[in-house]
Amino acid sequence: MKSWGLLLVAALALSGSYAVDRNNFKTCDQSGFCKRLRGFKPEKSEYTLNLDTVLVHGNVLSAEVDTVDTSTQERKVLWHYAMRLSALVDGTFRVEIDEVDPLYPRYRTQLALNGEPKADGLKLLSNENGKLTLANSQGHKVVITAAPLKIEFLNQAGDVAVVLNDNAQLVVEPLRVKKERIDDEDGNAVEVEEEGTWGESFKSHHDSKPRGNEAVSLDFSFPDADNVYGIPEHTDKFALKTTTSGEPYRLFNLDVFEYELDSRMAIYGAVPVLYSHGPKHSAGVFWHNSAETWVDIVNYADSTVVSSLVNLVTGGQKRRVDARFISESGIVDVFVFLGEKPSDVFRQYVMLTGPAPLPPKFSLAYHQCRWNYVDEADVRSVDNGFDEHDIPADVIWLDIEYTDRKKYFTWDPLKFPNPAEMIANLTSKGRKLVTIIDPHVKREAGYFLHEDATELGYYVKDKDGKDYEGWCWPGSSSYLDFFNPVVSKYYSERYSFENFPGTSKDVHIWNDMNEPSVFNGPEITMPKDCRHYKPPQDGNDGLAAYWEHRHVHNEYGLWNIRATHEGMLQRADSKYRPFILTRSAFAGTQRYAAVWTGDNMAEWGFLAVSVPMCLSLASAGISFCGSDVGGFFKYPEAELMTRWYQAGAFQPFFRAHSHIETKRREPWLYDPATTALLRDANRRRYALIDFWYTLFYEHSVDGLPVMRALFQEYPKEEDTYTIDDQYLLGNKLLVRPVVEPGVSNVKVYLPGSATRTLWYDVDTYHAYPANGYLTFDVTLSKVPVFQRGGGIVLRKERVRRSSALMADDPYTIVVALDANGTSEGSLYIDDGETYEYRNNKYIYAKLAYEPSAMTYSFVNDKASYPTRSWVERIVIAGIKNPPKTAKLVQGEKQTSLQMTLHKGNDVLVVRKPAASMAQPWKIIFSY
Ligand SMILES: *[C@@H]1O[C@H](CO)[C@@H](O)[C@H](O)[C@H]1NC(C)=O
Ligand SMILES: *[C@@H]1O[C@H](CO)[C@@H](O)[C@H](O)[C@H]1NC(C)=O
C-alpha cells in the first residue's frame, strides 16, 4: 500500500523529485556482520572435517568439523562444529553446520519448509586420501575433502555442479560469554572485544546484541554456469550481476519508501534461493536462514572481473559463477539442487517449500484498488462504473481508511455503516471485496485487540521484556507475536464472521506492512533486539528463553499470513479457498498468499521492472505476483496507463492501485480512446481466465513457474539467458509487453528451432518461425503475444461483468499447429471457490489435435464436474491441408460440423460444434 514518508509526498510532487532516502538503510559497511565477514577472505579455510568422526546412518552423514589454528605447528583446535549431510529425494542434498555445544540453541528457521524433507538413500563409496565419496540412490555424488573442508556435488552426468567452501568463506561465529569490563588506572574501559561485538548503532538506534556476534557465511561455486538467478526481491535484472565493485544483494524485509530501480537494496521480500544455469546444466542452493542476509556474486564472464582473478580461480575458464551468503545469525543450513534442467531445480526448491495451492478463480481476474475508496457510496459508484463502461472487474479493495481510525477488524461507523449490505451488493454481480488488515495494533484504551493483547501478553517484547511500542499508521502501535501458537490462534479467530462483523466468505484479506513496517524503528522496521516467543522445551532462562527479532525477521510476515490463512479457513469450516495478498515475502510464502511488488511509481521504468521482479519471485516459488497497475505514486498519463493495463493483463496478479494523494484514475476517467484501450486489456484478461486458472491448477501440482523465463523452456539457447523483458505463460504463450513510451516497434525474441518451432500472433494467427530476434510493429492497441505452434489455448469471448458470471459461457478453442500439424493443451474446471475439487468434483482434461481427429479426454476419469460450458468454435491456425468433413462424436451422439476456411492465413474455423465440456468428445476429420 504505502510507506512511511507519506507526509513528504505532497512536497515531493511539487518539486518533482522522487527518490529513496538511502540514509535510512544500511550499506554492508554499516551492517556490523556484513562488514566483518565480507572482509574475511582467508587463503585457506580453517574448517577441517575430522575423518575419525564420520558416521553414515540412513540418509545422513554426520561428522565433526573443527576450526584449526594453522599458524602454529601443533594444529590447535579452536572450535568444534557438527556437520550433517543428508541425501533427499529428487536430486537434493542438505548440509547443516552448527556448533557442537552452543552456549544457547542457535535459531533454526521454522516455517519455510513444507514439512520434513523426504529422505533418499546415501552410500559411502570411498574414504581415502582425505576424501570421502558418497552417492544417493539416483547416482548424484558428493565428494568431501577433509582439510580444508570442501564439498563438491556432482550431477548424474558426472559434472561438478555446485561446490561449497571452495573460496574458504565458511564461517560460523561461535556464541560466547561476554567478557567482564576491564578498566585501566583512569577508570576507562580497555577494549577487550572487537568494537560492535556487544552492541552497534545505526543513526539514532542502538542494537544491544545480547548474544554478541553470531554470524554465518558460506560460499558456493557453480562451474559451467553462465548466470545465476533468484534471491528476490530486488529491482535489478533477472540475471544477477557481479557485486565486487559495489554493494552485495541484500535480503532483509523492509518497507522502503520510493524504492529505486536497478538496485541491490533490500525491499519487502527476501527469498534466499539461488539458481545457476549454463548450456550444460542448472543447479541451485537454498540458504535456509531467516536473518538479515547479504549475497555477493562473482560472474567470471563479467567484464568487471579482472582477468588475473579469472586466471587464478578458474584457470582462465570464464564460465563460472561464485556466490557467497552472509547472515547475521542462525546456523549454516543449505539445500543443494542438482537439476539438471531449469525446471528441475525450480521444482526441487518448490517441493521443499511447498507449491502454491489452487487460488479461488476470482483472484486471477481484475482487481480495483485505491487508497482509498472513501465510503460506501464511493464503493458503489466505482462498482457501477465498471458496469456503465462495460469493463469486467471482480474485486473492489479497501485500504486502511475503511477502519474505525486504523483499528483493524472494525469499520468506520460513519463511512461504512452497512458493510454487509455493501458486500451483498458486490456479490450480487459476482464481485468480491478485499479489506486490508495490517499486523500493527493501535494502542488505544478500549480497543479490544489492544486490551486482549496487553492483558494476555500477546505482543512482541522489547529488549527489556516490556511490550514493544512503535509508530505506524494508527500512531503508537504494538505488534502481535505470531511465533507464539496461542497468539496465532487468537489472531486467526479474529477473522471469524462474528469477530469481524459484516464480513462473509466473499471478503478476502490484504496483509500489508508485515515486514514489519515500524515508522520510527531502525531502517523502518522492528529493532533486532526485540523478543519473540520460543517454545519452553528449548530451555527457558536468560538468553535461551526467547528469540530475538534478528533471528526471525525475514519470516515474521510468513507467520502473519499463515495465521490469517488459518483464520480464513476456519471462518467458513474450511469450505472456501482464501485469497490473501502479502507485501513481505519469504521462502514458503506461496503456500498462503500472493505477492505484489509494493509501492512502485507511475514511471516507465517501474512498468518495465515488473517483469524481472515477478520472474525472480516466480523462480522462488511465488508465481502469484504482480505490480500496482498504473503505478502507486504519481499519476500515469494515458499512454503509460494503457501499457500498464496491457502488461498487467498478462501478469498473474492484476490489480490497479493508487496513492491517496494522486488524481483518481478509474479506467473511465481517461479520455474515451484510452478507456477503450483499458477495457480491451481487461477483456483480454477475462477471455483467458480459464487458461490462467488451468495454469494455476497445474502450478499447484508441479510447482513450476506460471510466468516463466524463456531459458526454462529453451535451456540450451544462450540468447535467452539474459532475456527478462519477455516471458512465457506456461509453455504456450509468449508475452512481450510494451514498456517503452512512443514506440512503433519492439524487438521480440522467438525461441526454438527455425525449422520446427512456430509462434502465432494471437491477434492475426500469422505464424512466425522461431528465428531469434524479430522486429515487430506495434500500435497503442497492440501488444506482441504469441501462441506456440503445438499449443492449444481456450478462450471465453462473451463479455460479462465478472468472472463468476462467465462460469457457464462457451469456449473458443484456439489450436495453433506445429510443423507436424499437431497440437495439445489442457483445461481445468471446478466451482472456482471451494475445496470440493479434493472430492473429485473437477475436470482436468487434455485436448489433442491431430490431422485425423481432435480429442477432449479426462486425465482422471473418476473426477467430473457438471459444467454447462460448451464449445462454440474451434479455430485451427496454420492448417496446410484442410479436411473436407468433420464429425463430432460425444457419447451416443454424432453430429456433422460446418467449417470455414480463411485462406491467406491458413485458419480453419469449426463452427458451433456445441460439444458439452462436461463429457469427453472427439471430432473426426476426413480428407
Ligand atoms: C446496495 O444497493 C442498493 C441498490 O443499488 C442501494 O440503494 C444501496 O444503497 C446499496 N447499499 C450499500 C450499503 O451500498
Ligand atoms: C514432429 O514429429 C516428429 C516425429 O514424431 C518429432 O520428432 C518432432 O519433434 C515433431 N515436431 C514437432 C515440432 O513437434
Q: Whose CA is nearest to atom 12 of ligand 1?
A: 422
Q: Whose CA is nearest to atom 4 of ligand 2?
A: 820
φ/ψ of 563, rounded to 5, equals -70, -35
Ligand 2 atom closest to Cα of residue 822: 14
CA of 421 to the centre of ligand 1 (A): 7
How is the chain split into domains, by residue range?
28-353, 702-786, 792-926
Best residue for ligand 1 mutational test, from 422, 423, 507 (most atoms within 8 Å of Cβ): 422
Q: How confident is the model at residue 191 (pLDDT cuts 50, 70, 90)?
A: low
Under DSSP, is residue 737 helix (H, G, I), strand (E, B) or coil? coil
Is 452 one of the annotated active-site residues of the chain? no
Residue-averaged pLDDT of the chain:
95
Best residue for ligand 1 mutational test, from 384, 388, 421 (most atoms within 8 Å of Cβ): 421
By residue count, the chain amounts to: 927
pLDDT tens string 617-627? 999 999 999 99
Does 183 have pLDDT greater than 90? no
Is 98 one of the annotated active-site residues of the chain? no
Ligand 2 atom closest to Cα of residue 753: 13
Please compute the mean of the pLDDT values over residues 85-102 and round it to a whole number: 98
Asked, colleague to colleague, whether 702-786 and 792-926 share their fold, the answer is: yes
φ/ψ of 841, rounded to 5, equals -95, 70
Q: What is the pLDDT of residue 14?
A: 44
CA of 380 to the centre of ligand 1 (A): 7
Q: CB count, 10 Å around CB of 186? A: 5
Q: What is the pLDDT of residue 537?
A: 75
Q: How confident is the model at residue 9 (pLDDT cuts 50, 70, 90)?
A: very low
Q: How confident is the model at residue 771 (pLDDT cuts 50, 70, 90)?
A: confident
Q: What is the pLDDT of residue 312?
A: 80
CATH number 1.10.10.10 given to 792-926: no
Does 528 have pLDDT greater than 90? yes
Share of the chain above pLDDT 90, in %: 91
Greater confidence, 59 or 304?
Answer: 59
Q: What is the pLDDT of residue 11?
A: 43
Lowest mean pLDDT among 15-29, 201-215, 251-265, 610-624: 15-29
b/e 836-867 (16+ beta carbons within 10 angstroms → b): ebeeebbbbbebbbebebbbbebeeeebebeb
CA of 409 to the centre of ligand 1 (A): 22
Ligand nearest to the CA of 755: 2
**Residue owning grid cell 485425423:** 852
Q: What is the pLDDT of residue 317?
A: 76
* DSSP string for residues in 671-699: -HHHHHHHHHHHHHHHHTHHHHHHHHHHH
Catalytic residue among 207, 236, 529, 599: 599
Does 37 have pLDDT greater than 60? yes
Please compute the mean of the pLDDT values over residues 795-822 and round it to a whole number: 97
Q: What is the pLDDT of residue 444?
A: 98
CA of 879 to the centre of ligand 2 (A): 16
Residues in Cβ contact with 524 at an 8 Å cutoff, skipping those fewer than 6 apart = 3, 4, 24, 254, 255, 256, 257, 517, 518
Which fold would CATH assign to domain 702-786? Immunoglobulin-like (2.60.40)
Cα distance from N-terminal residue to C-terminal residue, the chain: 59
Does 12 have pLDDT greater than 70? no
Ligand nearest to the CA of 770: 2
pLDDT tens string 889-906? 999 999 999 999 997 879
Please compute the mean of the pLDDT values over residues 330-357 and round it to a whole number: 98
Q: CB count, 10 Å around CB of 731? A: 16
Q: Which of 171, 202, 205 is nearest to 42 (CA)?
A: 171
Q: Whose CA is nearest to atom 13 of ligand 1?
A: 422
Whether pTM > 0.75 for this model: the answer is: yes
State the Cα–Cα distance between residues 133 and 535, nearest whole angstrom. Answer: 39
Please compute the mean of the pLDDT values over residues 470-486 and round it to a whole number: 98
Residues in Cβ contact with 162 at an 8 Å cutoff, skipping those fewer than 6 apart = 152, 153, 220, 221, 222, 276, 283, 284, 285, 336, 338
The amino acid at 624:
F
Does 10 have pLDDT greater than 60? no
Q: Which of 610, 619, 689, 593 is nearest to 645 (CA)?
A: 610
Ligand nearest to the CA of 415: 1
Ligand 1 atom closest to Cα of residue 376: 14
Determine if the peptide bond prior to 340 is cis (ω within 30°): yes
Q: Which of 447, 446, 415, 228 is nearest to 324 (CA)?
A: 228
Determine if the peptide bond prior to 42 is cis (ω within 30°): no
Beta-strand runs (E) in 437-542: 440-442, 470-472, 475-479, 507-511, 531-532
Does 589 have pLDDT greater than 90? yes
State the Cα–Cα distance between residues 878 and 787, nearest whole angstrom. Answer: 12
Which fold would CATH assign to domain 28-353? Immunoglobulin-like (2.60.40)
Please compute the mean of the pLDDT values over residues 356-369 and round it to a whole number: 98
Q: What is the pLDDT of residue 3?
A: 54
Ligand 2 atom closest to Cα of residue 789: 13
Q: Which of 923, 914, 808 is nearest to 865 (CA)?
A: 808
Helical ranges in 153-235 per DSSP H: none
Please compute the mean of the pLDDT values over residues 301-313 and round it to a whole number: 81
